Amino acid sequence: MSYAFTEEQLLIKQNALEFAKEYLDPIAMELDHSAKFPAEIVKKMVAQDLLGLFLPGEYGGAEAGFVAFIEVIEALSGSSASVAAILLNHAIAAYAIEHWGTKEQKDNYLPALVKGEKLGALAIYENGPMLGVGPDTLVAEKKPEGYVLNGVKAFVRNAGVAGVYVVLATTDPTSNGKTLTAFLVDAKASGLKVGAAKESMGLRGCPMADLTFENVIVPESAVLGAVDGGLALATDTLAVFSLGEAAETVGIGQAAVEHAAAYSKTRVQFGKPISTLQAIQTLLAEVATDAHVARLALYDAAGLFEEGKPFQTEAAMVKAFLARFGSKMLLDTVQIEGGFGYSEFMPLPRLFRDIAGTTLLEAPAEYPDKTIAAALLA
């Protein structure tokens, strides 16, 4: 298939590519080394309306659509997947509020998220074998004043810089993870503590830490969606999230292809550029094909979501494909560039580390296969 972009979508992607070239390319390597949160870049993204790109206009959003948002994530990821990850985590938290929230919750949070007055973050995962199971699982106990939250959420992206967290907790720790409820928790809530920053292999500019809840009291109005309806919210949100991750992966892979192709034309061996060698051309063709096929599937699924059609199976297929071929794109391009490509003064090692995060971190490894099989066997 060939996905036809509108003029507006093409303009948005071009603007994102120019933004990335001007502001992200100069800092990408330093950001990877320092792991320092790029606050000034976030301010520049606010000025470009990127924080509310696909949110409704009534809350200050740009109403550009989800496909345009995916274009932006792909474009930014080619320069700095860390910055793209900050935006993605923020935007998906905002999506959860916009899609599942009450009018009061939307009015309270979405304008601030669009303006960058608050960043959003998802706090879904835990250290146990599954959500709602384990010694540190986050438990929400019903009290007259609302709910009291105790426990730990693990590997939270945007932790420490977010202003609001979309948090999943169990209301019954004996239910084996069947009674999950989502809550909106303000970052300044008494008893909420952000742990030490976790050093990660890639996406290092996007903060990651555990959140500890010690008798954090939230009112009943903080429930996002239905009580004990958190599993449906998480399933929907992670499916949308997986498309954003796929856009990161495709953007990184495309950047690696372009860098390796350009390098092959300048690297001379045996008196001629290595781009003339059949083995190099084969590797370039394979990695370019992987990126192209993944991009077509990605925008097909994103288009379905934007049109309000079922998209979960297609999203799972995209994630399954990139789980197999995402890192291979970087293996092939590093092989093209040889020892130089393996050196830290070149971009491929950073891209390699980042792409591992985009294919492994957010959605459970078994999620794509289970989703695809369930659709086939229904």
Just list the catalytic residues.
362
Rg of the chain over Cα atoms, rounded to whole angstroms, equals 21
Q: CB of 203 within 8 A of CB of 77?
A: no
Q: SS3 for 167? A: strand
Residue 131 burial (10 A CB sphere; 0-12, 13-18, 19+) = buried
Q: Residue 200 to residues 66, 207, 264, 308: CA-CA distances in angstroms?
A: 29, 9, 31, 35
Residue at token pair 């192709």 = 261
Please identify which residue in the block is written with the tokens 């994630």.
319
Least Cα distance to 334 among 271, 290, 280 occurs for 280
Q: How far apart are CA 155 and CA 362, in angstroms?
A: 9
Q: Residue 217 burial (CB < 10 Å; 0-12/13-18/19+)? A: middle
318 is written with which tokens?
A: 């995209």
Task: Locate 311 and state its tokens.
Answer: 């998209």
Distance, in Å, from the CA atom of 215 to the CA atom of 189, rounded to the nearest integer, reads 10
Strands (E), 77-135: 120-123
Distance, CA of 114 to CA of 118 (rounded, Å): 8
What is the C-alpha separation between 3 and 152, in angstroms, rounded? 42
Q: Is 315 exposed, middle or buried (0-12, 13-18, 19+ CB in 10 A)?
A: buried
Structure tokens at 333: 């391009």
Tokens of 128: 């146990």
Do 273 and 267 touch, CB atoms closer than 8 A? Answer: yes
137's enclosing H/E stretch is none
